[in-house]
């Protein structure tokens, strides 16, 4: 019989299988419509805050930037050497947009987690796992508290690591890692909250922590793709009314894909866990019967001799191999006594 594949191969196969399933689900009209619901809220919030606070924020930022002698000297040098005379005019809006990026990402993640994730979990469960039992290991309030706490930790990490963003290699590593950790914490909890018990959820999050983190980090890198259009400088400022809603929708759709990816992976892992727990494990009686059948002996053994020491035959799967007291039978076969008899 061929040996089972390594656990790492099984997990990677599950990751890849969940990936393409999530990608196919994103093309469903229902998922596309669901991705618009957080977008509507985000657009209303962005437009309202932008209408009320954009110009005052830009004016305050321009004033703060103009008071910095070091920054003024740097801008003057760039204007003389590279003829970047337009940089001073767009610097404040660009800085404001860069500061708004983490807020948009975090709010998108929270909205997807609170609005879309329950719907996507229900969609995946109904279509792929209709017989999966719901054990309701966490309530909606518990999920909300978990998401808020994880988000606060991520925001603190973002603020603390923001000086590192100006170092070219680290800006490609630090933010995606933080997004990945936050995505892993929020989506893995939400995907298992309804179907898994609290014990099953904790066990799966520990057993598949590396896989969940891998999904989160990849989702974090995918979440940075909409920021590419923000690197167009003055062109983005001119097209901001069009590009900002597009960027918000892309953020939302990417997080919707991540939610589906986590849901497929988590529910499939939960099914595997319950199948493993449901598999019958050969006990002492089954092992003893297997030994007797292998020797052509029928019926239970009869103790006629003095107990001795003997090793259980290694050919019998599931039987301990350490020495145990045994009794001789009329067939000469040495069989260990039932350990459950003295309990």
pLDDT digits (tens, 9 = 90+) for 293-338: 555 544 444 444 444 444 444 444 444 444 443 343 344 444 444 4
- Locate 156 and state its tokens: 């603190």
CA–CA gap between residue 149 and residue 318 (Å, rounded)? 44
Query: Greater confidence, 229 or 233?
Result: 229
Q: Is the pLDDT of residue 285 over 70?
A: no
CA–CA gap between residue 256 and residue 111 (Å, rounded)? 10
CA–CA gap between residue 156 and residue 162 (Å, rounded)? 10
The closest of 66, 31, 19 to 214, measured between CA atoms, is 19
CA–CA gap between residue 36 and residue 24 (Å, rounded)? 18
Nearest 5°: the CA angle 217, 41, 59 is 85
Q: Is the dihedral of CA 79, 82, 86, 87 positive or negative?
A: negative
Which pLDDT band, with edges at 50, 70 and 90, does 230 fall under?
Answer: low
Decide: 43 and 245 in contact? Cβ < 8 Å: yes
Q: Is the pLDDT of residue 268 over 70?
A: yes
CA–CA gap between residue 260 and residue 121 (Å, rounded)? 7
- Locate 40 and state its tokens: 């509507």
Decide: 96 and 57 in contact? Cβ < 8 Å: yes
Mean pLDDT of 60-81: 78
Mean pLDDT of the chain: 75
């Amino acid at each position: 019989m061929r040996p089972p594949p390594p656990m790492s191969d099984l997990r990677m196969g599950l990751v890849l299988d969940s990936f393409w399933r999530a990608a196919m689900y994103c093309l469903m009209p229902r998922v596309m419509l669901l991705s618009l619901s957080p977008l509507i809220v985000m657009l209303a919030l962005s437009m309202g805050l932008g209408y009320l606070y954009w110009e005052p924020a830009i004016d305050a930022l321009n004033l703060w930037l103009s008071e910095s002698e070091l920054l003024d000297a740097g801008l003057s040098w760039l204007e003389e050497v590279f003829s970047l005379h337009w940089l001073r005019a767009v610097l404040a809006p660009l800085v404001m947009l860069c500061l708004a990026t983490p807020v948009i990402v975090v709010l998108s993640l929270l909205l997807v987690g609170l609005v879309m994730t329950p719907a996507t979990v229900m969609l995946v469960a109904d279509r792929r796992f209709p017989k999966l039992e719901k054990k309701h290991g966490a309530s909606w309030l518990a999920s909300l508290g978990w998401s808020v706490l994880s988000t606060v930790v991520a925001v603190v990490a973002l603020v603390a690591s923001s000086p590192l963003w100006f170092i070219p290699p680290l800006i490609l590593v630090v933010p995606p890692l933080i997004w990945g950790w936050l995505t892993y914490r929020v989506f893995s909890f939400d995907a298992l909250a309804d179907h898994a018990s609290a014990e099953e959820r904790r066990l799966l999050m520990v057993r598949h922590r590396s896989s969940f983190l891998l999904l989160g980090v990849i989702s974090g890198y995918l979440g940075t793709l909409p920021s590419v259009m923000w690197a167009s400088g003055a062109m983005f400022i001119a097209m901001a009314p069009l590009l900002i809603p597009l960027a918000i929708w892309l953020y939302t759709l990417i997080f919707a894909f991540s939610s589906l990816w986590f849901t497929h992976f988590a529910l499939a892992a939960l099914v595997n866990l319950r199948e493993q727990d449901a598999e019958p494990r050969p006990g002492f009686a089954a092992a003893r019967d297997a030994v007797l059948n292998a020797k052509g002996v029928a019926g239970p053994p009869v103790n006629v001799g003095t107990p001795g020491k003997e090793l259980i035959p290694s050919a019998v799967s599931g039987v301990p191999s350490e020495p145990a007291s045994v009794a001789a039978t009329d067939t000469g076969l040495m069989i260990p006594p039932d350990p459950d008899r003295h309990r």
